[in-house]
A and B are shown apart, each in its own frame.
Chain A
Amino acid sequence: MSRQSMVCAFNGILYRELLRFVYQRSRFFSALVRPLVWLIVFAAGFRAALGISIIEPYDTYITYEVYIAPGLVAMVLLFNAMQSSLSMVYDREMGSMRVLLMSPLPRGYLLVCKLLASAIVALPQVYGFLLVAWFFEVQPPWAGYLWVLPALILVAVLLGALGLFISSFIRQLENFAGVMNFVIFPTFFMSSALYPLWKMQEASEILYLLCSYNPFSYCVELIRHALYGRLNEEALLVVSGCTLVFSILAVIIFNPQRGFGKGGR
């Protein structure tokens, strides 16, 4: 296969994702409303309960809204990734997945293109959220919006690969409610998205350990630091490593037979 047809295929996959994104405006708004509810309602209520001291990468005392904004950005990516990866294996996308797999290009390449394309589609959702958050005093430096871009793509691909991996692995998670309970909530709550980990350590050493091994914590920290123009090298290393490992695993374990088995005999 020539490089030209590989580029051509990626463009086609990306173009289709963008079209679907443009046509499904309701998806965009629900992706925007979810983190805003957290930011505007939850954070306001929680603000009083939780004092935040000066921690990296912030130079001063910050409000709780400012603290959780990067975590909510990661949440947007998490939902987007789980939705798109699960639908790749199970529901309505079945059809387009078949078209995808009829391509003469290697399956691994096609899946990576698909992950990357849905990562790119998540970007407007994130920037839309950050735009609204700006009016609620989440105002990182302008350069931060640029620095955070590569971090967002990397994290989105990791979470997409993780979603694809999980969905080919666990049959029981066929509906999204199951994924919410057993994947999204634990991932999100056992991370530094909503509270700094030292707070968690005060509460429970075991939970602290779980949180600090959760790759999602590193996703959040990578985004948090990038948004303030800093590079968290440890987070970058962990997130890149996990992206590589889970992409490879997801591709190896991917088995279209699983998804098609029910309807296609």
Chain B
Amino acid sequence: MNGSVSPTVATSQIDSTAILEVLKVGFRYGAKIALDDVSMTLNPGEFHALLGPNGAGKSTLFNLISRLYQVQNGEIRLQGQDLGQHGAKLLEDVGMVFQQSTLDLELSVAENLHYHGSLQGLSRKLCRQRMEEELARVEMSDRLSTKVRQLNGGHRRRVEIARALLHRPKLLLLDEATVGLDPEARKSINQHVRKLCREDGISVLWATHLIEEIDEQDPVTILFNGKVKAQGLSQAICSDSQCATLADAFEQLTQNNREGNRP
């Protein structure tokens, strides 16, 4: 086995305090296996990085957690409740930023946010109030009536993060939220999200293929070809694999696999 599992992250036991538990989840598109026996736990206020190259299965996992796809094998629990049994109701506590932008380009920022707010059952007044708060946090207050088409990539992302937080979720899922942005915009979004964890206690699952977005103290799950290759604090993964950096560790863990016993 080449997976190193840190004792700080429980993987298979049901933990009632966890926000999100993924338990032995498997998923296939026809014959192609996308996820194989994937487990992970996310605790309140945690910034958990899901690291893997394109095609590793990150988006598939997100689509399962957000109920877009149905779980085929295993179980996903949100705040201790099984996603399969409790249905859409559990999404009340989930905010999501998708890999591809899901904003309506021809609508204004406010109109986009209002659409999401109404789907979450927020009254117009409450929605307006939250909209102003969340946009202020991402320094976009002056863009309420700007058409999304006129915003640059970084600003669109910020709007999407503000949107995902309108209904005050406990869990925020970000699927490659910084893809296609310049380094500065990437950094500022990463910092903003970390602040949400620290100050508001929101749990974040941050999918990325960019190692530089991960800090030493972050819990990390390395996903490769649909399998969990390593799990634990970034530091611990490095020391377990006797590598100086996470990049080296990642290289080593996925390299083994390429040489190893692929069917």
Contact between chains at A15 and B92 (CB < 8 Å): no
Among the stretches A5-13, A131-139, A195-203, A229-237, the one at the interface with B is: A5-13
Task: Decide yes or no whether B232 CB sits under 8 A from chain A.
Answer: no
Q: Contact string, A86-123, partner B, CB cutoff 8 A, digits 1/0? A: 00000000111011111111110010000000000000
- Residues of A near B55 (CB, < 8 A) are 265
Q: Which residue of the partner chain, among A4, A15, A96, contacts B102 with CB atoms under 8 Å?
A: A96
Q: Which of B51-71 contact A (CB under 8 A)?
A: 55, 57, 59-60, 63, 66-70
Task: Decide yes or no whether A58 CB sits under 8 A from chain B.
Answer: no
Task: Decide yes or no whether A260 CB sits under 8 A from chain B.
Answer: yes
- Residues of B near A104 (CB, < 8 A) are 88-92, 120-121
Contact between chains at A257 and B68 (CB < 8 Å): yes
Q: Which of B79-120 contact A (CB under 8 A)?
A: 87-92, 94, 96, 98-104, 106-107, 111, 114-120
Contacts A2-B121, A102-B96, A104-B92 given; does A12 touch B102 at CB 8 Å: no
Q: Which of A1-51 contact B (CB under 8 A)?
A: 1-2, 4-6, 8-9, 11-13, 15-16, 19-20, 23-24
Chain B: which residue is nearest A10 at the CB level?
A: B118
A40 to B99, CA, bound (A): 48
Q: Which residue of the partner chain, among B34, B100, B114, contacts A95 with CB atoms under 8 Å?
A: B100
Chain A: which residue is nearest B121 at the CB level?
A: A5
A50 CB, min distance to chain B CBs, angstroms = 43
- Count contacts between A and B, CB distance < 8 Å: 108
Count of B residues near A, CB < 8 Å? 40
Chain A: which residue is nearest B108 at the CB level?
A: A19
Q: Which residue of the partner chain, among B89, B96, B104, B123, contacts A16 with CB atoms under 8 Å?
A: B104
B118 CB, min distance to chain A CBs, angstroms = 2
Contact between chains at A256 and B69 (CB < 8 Å): yes
Q: Which of A248-265 contact B (CB under 8 A)?
A: 256-257, 260-261, 263-265
- Residues of A near B88 (CB, < 8 A) are 103-107
- Residues of B near A95 (CB, < 8 A) are 98, 100-104
- Residues of A near B89 (CB, < 8 A) are 1, 104
Contact between chains at B121 and A1 (CB < 8 Å): yes
Contacts A20-B104, A103-B88, A264-B99 given; does A8 touch B34 at CB 8 Å: no
A94 to B94, CA, bound (A): 19
Contact between chains at B107 and A20 (CB < 8 Å): yes
Contacts A96-B102, A104-B120, A264-B63 given; does A15 touch B114 at CB 8 Å: yes
A258 to B183, CA, bound (A): 34
Q: Which residue of the partner chain, among A2, A4, A16, contacts B107 with CB atoms under 8 Å?
A: A16
Given contact pairs A11-B118, A98-B68, A99-B115, enumerate 19 new A-B contacts (beta carbons under 8 Å).
Answer: A1-B121, A8-B123, A12-B118, A13-B115, A15-B114, A15-B115, A16-B107, A19-B111, A20-B107, A23-B106, A94-B102, A95-B102, A102-B66, A102-B94, A103-B88, A104-B90, A260-B69, A264-B63, A265-B29
Q: Which 5 A-B pairs have the closest CB atoms?
A: A12-B118, A5-B121, A95-B102, A103-B119, A104-B92
